[in-house]
Amino acid sequence: MPTRFPGWHFLQIPGPSNVPMRVLQEIARPTVDHRGPDFPALTRDVMAGLKWVFGTEAPVIIYPASGTGAWEAALVNTLSPGDRVLMFETGHFGVEWADVATRLGVRVDMVPGDWRRGPDPQVVEERLRADSDQSYKAVAVLHNETSTGAVGRIAEVRAAMDRADHSALLLVDTISSLGSLDYRHDEWGVDVTVGASQKGLMLPPGLSFTAVSAKALAASKDASLPRSYWDWQRMIDQNERGYFPFTPASNLLFGLREAFAMMREEGLENVFERHSRHGEATRRAVASWGLENQCANPAEYSGVLTAVRLPDGCDAGPVMAIAWERYALSLGVGLGKLRGRVFRIGHLGDFNDLMLAAMLAGVESSLALAGVPIERGGVDSAMRYLEDVGR
């Protein structure tokens, strides 16, 4: 039995995504003194890049932490024990963020959902209108629900809040969409946007972010959940001088700077268009196979990932095992109650048409070998679409 699998491994989970070599090499630069005279230039470069991809002029805080940490940061900086937050059961990560809130002592009102669509702006409006004493301190939604591939319509959620004339903060998770899908923190009136490094930003995991509106920063003055590591104000104070209140993950920051350089070379609009195109190509393949997309609302289809539902009686486990063992292809497992029911295909980050073809070929062969009843021709449909749509 060979111990080596030749060639490239295809990391087609919905993040971490394939890290480009230019970023890997930057991460492998010698570590520097984070209190030295040259460090502020690095800080300023990554801060400029972050504001650019978040679409904001507001402060962005960088944490040496996973995205889960930034979830916590968004909550502890804005809320007090017992505060009410409106959240949506859009899928596994919607549930998880609510769990974090609950563990921290916040009261979550969870709008139930079927894990096949984003948060309903109509429901937002109804709930907030009904909240006549403005008891909700925040509405927290996901821009891209990574367990289902449904994109939250953030601008519409904001509009619903405005229509309800409610003072709640709008907290948005862009962990799996930042740098892949169009996003506008300022224009859309978001108060706290949470992001992370290991998806559209093409880095390994280890960094997460919060973009913070003036309203959110003001709310943090009164928020009384205990906080130290996640505290915004100390970060902002030090960042202004180009430093951090504690040791930053400097090598990942080198990589982040390079990732922004690469995104500028490609053009942010082109990056978004590419993700959109690869989402559509993937959905065409899925349709060719006769399979169903977990996301049931075409207006919310994601350019980041596609969650593929298997026919009743089929288990995703063997498909994924074949993909990995025979094709060195990592697919995303179904999360929470979708385990076994779906597998997830990531088509994000440093990705192109032929990587997509490779991935779809691996999925198609794995489905066939696992005995899932499919029509062939998925790769072909995707490639023809890409031929037609151009680059």
Residues 49-68 touching its own copies, rule: CB under 8 A, are 63-68
Is residue 324 within 8 Å of 330, Cβ to Cβ?
Answer: yes
The Cα–Cα gap between 193 and 71 comes to 9
Strand ranges (E), 177-298: 192-196, 207-212, 292-293
Q: Does 260 bind its own copies (CB under 8 A)?
A: no
Q: Does 287 bind its own copies (CB under 8 A)?
A: no
Find the binding residues for its own copies in span 26-45 (CB under 8 A).
Answer: 27-37
Residue 164 or 178 having the CB closest to its own copies:
178
Residue 252 or 314 having the CB closest to its own copies:
252
Q: Does 218 bind its own copies (CB under 8 A)?
A: no
For 2, the token pair is: 């060979």
Find the binding residues for its own copies in span 341-370 (CB under 8 A).
Answer: 350-355, 357-359, 361-362, 364-365, 368-369
Is residue 301 within 8 Å of 293, Cβ to Cβ?
Answer: yes
Shortest approach of its own copies to residue 307 CB, angstroms?
15
Residue with tokens 């990995």: 324
Shortest approach of its own copies to residue 163 CB, angstroms?
33
- Among 226, 311, 371, 373, which residue interacts with its own copies (rule: CB under 8 A)? 226
Helical (H) or strand (E) element with 183: none
Shortest approach of its own copies to residue 346 CB, angstroms?
10
Closest CA to 281 of 191, 354, 366, 375: 354
Q: Does 241 bind its own copies (CB under 8 A)?
A: no
Q: In the stretch 162-181, what mask flags binding to its own copies with x, by CB under 8 A?
A: --------------------
Residue 66 or 297 having the CB closest to its own copies:
66
301 sits in the region (left: phi over 0; alpha: psi -120 to 50; else beta) called: beta
Find the binding residues for its own copies in span 192-211 (CB under 8 A).
Answer: 196, 198, 204-206
- 2 Cβ neighbours under 8 A, 6+ residues apart: none
Find the binding residues for its own copies in span 313-332 (CB under 8 A).
Answer: 321, 324, 326-330, 332
Q: Does 24 bind its own copies (CB under 8 A)?
A: yes
Q: Judged by CB under 8 A, how many residues of this single chain contact its own copies?
A: 104
Q: Does 2 bind its own copies (CB under 8 A)?
A: yes
Residue with tokens 């963020």: 97
Residue with tokens 């498909």: 319
Find the binding residues for its own copies in span 112-151 (CB under 8 A).
Answer: none
- 85 Cβ neighbours under 8 A, 6+ residues apart: 75, 79, 101, 106, 107, 108, 109, 136, 137, 138, 139, 140, 171
Closest CA to 350 of 251, 253, 252, 258: 258
